Structure 1
Amino acid sequence: MHRARGPASTGRGRCPGYHVGCSSPSATTATTSTRPMQFRPCIDLHKGKVKQIVGSTLSDLEKGGNAKELLTNFVASESPSHYAELYSSDGLYGGHMILLSKDAETQRVAREALRDFPNTLQVGGGVDARNAGSYLDDGASHVIVTSSVFKNGELQLDRLETLSSVVGRERLVLDLSCRRREAGGDYYVVTDRWQKFASLKVDQDSLAHLSEYCCEFLIHGVDVEGKQLGIDEDLVRLLGDYSPIPATYAGGVRTLQDMELIKGLGRGMVDATVGSALDIFGGTLPYKEVVNWHRNEQVGAGRTS
């Protein structure tokens, strides 16, 4: 396997600089009118395999969960390095690779992909202050953190501050994947494989405060993720209105019309991930069409990926 010609590795603590997410909150807000929306690809790893799983059905099988409850849309025969090579060759950076299980094979193939195609992917899943640096050293552009900065449903700000200090704000992405407790209600962060509600509400105040510790947000609309039922418009609108730094939204995208809808609601601050709907993951939406859409967005804004 050859190594892709991605952005050169810049070493731990410095951002590769291929997207606006490395800016400060104030600088990013000032550039939203010209910032093009981006397609952010993904790789979900479970038991060493690339899969598309309905995230809301995940449970900690190591702690007695029932494997029959796990709803899987797709299992790939290719390795994560295959997808990393594909994304890199198409000029797609800032995508996320999420480790959904803690086994040795998942670690092995994930780190292989990071080393083969450095600075192509962000990595999340079990990231904390002890192991974050090793992922960056292996080639991750950023690390993504969620559950390790929460305890018993409460945000542990000291843990977030420590992690931000260890890896640098410009290399840290905070996962605020969320869902509503009740129809029409507020959005609350969910942790531990999206099984537990945290007390943290996703709103203008929390987005502004937390943006001081990270350079991007990753936010799955958990109620629609993996179901190809359309996007959570209210959540995308909230992010477009109030996020002071770029946010990557994932959940329910099934057509290019959904991408256009996110572009309008996101107001230059929201990028999008497409998973189960893509033909490379068993869906019907051609991956190449999404890549071409992404390229047209960059050209239209006077940028290239």
Structure 2
Amino acid sequence: MEVFPAVDILSGNCVQLVGGDRLTATVYGSPIDNARRWIAEGAANLHVVNLDGAFAASSTNAAMIREVVEMTDVFVQVGGGIRSLEDARGWLNCGVSRIILSTFATQDPAVIRTLSQEFGSERIMAGVDARNGEIAVSGWQELAGDFIGWAEKFEELGAGSLLYTNVDVEGKQAGIDRAPVQKLLDAVSIPVVIAGGVSSSQDVRSLKELGASGCVLGSSLYSGKITLKEALEAAL
């Protein structure tokens, strides 16, 4: 199973939030320094979230993410604020390994097929961020229907993988909720990466046992509750 240390960028800083609330932001220095730290500790993948929004609207973050891509040889997936085909193509054309389409994919699902045909499905990941069993969109402020139904639709449209984030436990460092993860993995056949609540080696082992293709480490990694070495060993 793959492990993805998170590098979430807000106003040029690497941060971690609780439940997506910007008022809870804890700053952890520069994005590139953190990217280099996780790579030095053995990361082969990075999960980068542009919390300030679109490619064109956040040139500072775009430059930072481009620097991460250019100065490392790891797999970099990027999400956050991709609101148009122009945004999506901008990230993919600057060398990002894979993009994550979330709110945009629920507003215009056909973009998944368009981008998968244009760039290859392996570079297109659909975000399934869920609260209370419904997909959460627009910065997790709105609910837009059953998350399983959306996951199945994204697969049908050609998404190469899914990112499932359990908003109910995200950032709380209190462990994963296995039930919705199992429900999702039973419903689709494409790879699924899990985010939200991954706080211990046991969480990582549980996700591997359930059949997840990967997991994202955020707040618990930055706070020291779990080390990257522990997570990588549990994922073997």
TM-score by length of structure 1 reads: 0.69
% identity of equivalent residues: 30
The equivalent residue for 1:97 is 48
Q: Is the 8 A contact 1:169 1:215 kept in 2?
A: yes
The within-5 A match list for 1:17-166 is: 37-58=1-22, 70-72=23-25, 74-77=26-29, 79-90=30-41, 92-102=43-53, 103-118=58-73, 120-127=75-82, 128-151=84-107, 156-166=108-118
Cα-to-partner distance string for 1:155-176 (whole Å, 9 max, x where unaligned): x333333233333212101001
Q: CA-to-partner distance for each residue in 1:24-77, whole Å, 9 max, x for gaps?
A: xxxxxxxxxxxxx2222211111111101113424xxxxxxxxxxx112x3112
| Distance apart, 1:252 and its partner CA | 1.1
The alignment's C-alpha RMSD in Å is 2.1
Look up the match of 2:182: 237
Structure with max Cα Rg? 1
Q: What do the CA deviations read for 1:87-133 (whole angstroms, capped 9, x no partner)? A: 44455334320100134322221222122225521111122311222
CA contact (8 A) 2:173 2:219 kept: yes
1:210 aligns with 2:151: no
Partner of 1:31: none
- Matches of 2:47 and 2:214, distance apart in 1: 12
Residue 233 of structure 2 corresponds to residue 287 of structure 1: no
Unaligned runs of 5+ in 2: none
Match of 1:246 among 176, 191, 195: 191
**Residue number in structure 2 paired with 1:272:** 215
AA partner of residue 54 (structure 1): V
Shift of the alpha carbon at 1:149? 2.4
Comparing both structures, which one devotes a greater share of its residues to strand?
A: 2
Q: In 2, distance between residues paired with 1:254 and 1:269?
A: 16
Using the size of structure 2 for normalisation, the TM-score is 0.87
CA distance in 1, matches of 2:159, 2:74: 17
**CA distance, structure 2, for counterparts of residue 259 and residue 236 of structure 1:** 13
**Equivalent residues, number:** 230
